[in-house]
Amino acid sequence: MMSPRALRITTWLHKWSSLVCTVFMLLLCLTGLPLIFHHEIGHLTGTEVEAPPMAAGTPHKPLEEILAAGHARHPQRVVQFASPDEEDPNIWFVTLTPSPEPTEDFKSVAVDARTAQVLKEPKFDEGFMYVMFKLHIDLFAGLAGKLFLGFMGLLLLVAIVTGVMLYAPFMRKLAFGDVRREKSPRVKWLDLHNLLGIVTLTWAFVVGATGMINTWADLLIKYWQYDSMTTLLAPYKGQPLVPAAERGSLQKAYDAALAHVPGTKVRFIAFPGTAFSSPHHTTFFMAGNTPLTSKLLKPVMVDAKTAAVTNAPDLPWYLTALLVSQPLHFGDYGGMPMKVLWALLDIATIFVLGSGLYLWLKRRQPQSLVEEAGAVVGETA
């Protein structure tokens, strides 16, 4: 049982943490809803890339040919990354930028790995889903927007914890899930707010926490590069970036990475000088084949000149937590049933946020909501 002072503090924290974050949490729930089904929406709207049917087991062209086909579309740019499509490994995406440095100015070319022919140049930086994605991750404000939304996520967690602390003593005289329909609209809304808040508690906490972790991604990656790469690159100190003309066989490097970590597949390749590699390596990020291990990456660093594996460090715990949190945030682990569940819980959370906002807007009625609801609780004793 909380003391009157603890109750006042908890109530104040719940009210203000909820009020400050509510509008932004509503925005994130609304934009997150279509993002849960981004693949399905892409198929319906025709924005997803599809490879033409061929005989099963048709061999892939050498990786050099696949990348060359993509590079030929934008020869003035450099290849920063390459990755197979998660749903169809016969499709490879080649990402090209003006320089190896991190940038928002990129072109993506989809190439059929069996024929080394360009299939499409998908536009990932325009359209409805792009707007939803950018609003959801950074409000079109870059790192500052991500950190701001991360702070809103922290306030959501405070609101959830304090809400649980208030729920038990406030509802101790009522049966679980009881909605007092015969009472005033404010009390009915409060009961619905409390009921759905408790029902969605675990989901909202998990999604809020993973969303907050995701906003730290840029900083965590930079720290990993600073903390780990310095030691790994000590033998290459003073050597310049390996130019494309001096690099060894990419297919040989690819095969070496696969052989070094058997039972895995390549999720994406980062080329020398890019944010996820070093000036001297082509780095292959490998993943497992189960729903969980497919989200966990292991970098394999291959010397860009010799195509020999030089290192395969384990990712630190904080990057592993980041990788696990990303698909969990959007319900990507359990196929369509989990996506539908995520969507229903998202809609319920929208109602919780909206009802909380309604209750605050009605705060100026003559009798306070706490007094009114508390009096009704007393009558049931």
Is 294 within 8 Å of 332 (Cβ atoms)? no
Closest CA to 157 of 215, 118, 108: 215
The secondary structure of residue 62, as a DSSP letter, is P
Each residue of 53-69: pLDDT tens digit? 999 889 999 999 999 99
Q: Match domain 48-122 to its CATH number in 3.10.450, 3.90.550, 3.40.50, 3.30.160.
A: 3.10.450
Asked if pLDDT for residue 48 goes beyond 80, the answer is: yes
Q: How confident is the model at residue 104 (pLDDT cuts 50, 70, 90)?
A: confident
The 3-state DSSP class for residue 92 equals: strand
**Structure-model confidence comparison of residues 316 and 377, the more confident one:** 316
Asked if pLDDT for residue 70 goes beyond 50, the answer is: yes
Q: How confident is the model at residue 377 (pLDDT cuts 50, 70, 90)?
A: very low
Q: What percent of the chain has pLDDT over 90?
A: 46
- Please state, rounded to an integer, the average pLDDT across all residues of the chain: 85
Burial 90-99 (b: 16+ CB within 10 A, else e): bbbbbbbbee
Asked if pLDDT for residue 366 goes beyond 60, the answer is: no
The residue whose two tokens read 């903390």 is: 227
pLDDT reported for residue 378? 35
Each residue of 278-326: pLDDT tens digit? 889 999 999 988 877 888 899 999 999 999 999 998 888 999 899 888 8
The secondary structure of residue 245, as a DSSP letter, is G
Cα separation, 77 vs 97, in Å, equals: 5
User: Once rounded to an integer, what is the mean pLDDT over residues 254-275?
Assistant: 93
Is 265 within 8 Å of 296 (Cβ atoms)? no
Q: If residue 269 lies in a helix (H) or strand (E), which one and from where to where?
A: strand 265-270
Asked if pLDDT for residue 192 goes beyond 80, the answer is: no
pLDDT reported for residue 227? 81
* CB atoms near residue 143 (< 10 Å): 12
Q: If residue 266 lies in a helix (H) or strand (E), which one and from where to where?
A: strand 265-270
pLDDT reported for residue 5? 87
**Structure-model confidence comparison of residues 240 and 150, the more confident one:** 150
Closest CA to 252 of 171, 309, 296: 309
Q: In what order do the strands lie in the sheet with 107-112?
A: 117-120, 107-112, 91-97, 78-84, 265-270, 281-287, 297-303, 309-311
Total residue count of the chain as it appears in this document: 381
Asked if pLDDT for residue 108 goes beyond 90, the answer is: yes
pLDDT reported for residue 184? 67
User: Once rounded to an integer, what is the mean pLDDT over residues 150-154?
Assistant: 95
- Rounded to the nearest angstrom, the gap between the alpha carbon of residue 58 and the centroid of all alpha carbons in its chain is 33
User: Model pTM?
Assistant: 0.81
pLDDT reported for residue 337? 87
pLDDT reported for residue 380? 31
Asked if pLDDT for residue 241 goes beyond 90, the answer is: no
What residue segments make up the domains of the chain, in order of their start? 4-40+130-214+333-379, 48-122
Token pair listed for 323: 């990788």
Asked if pLDDT for residue 189 goes beyond 80, the answer is: no
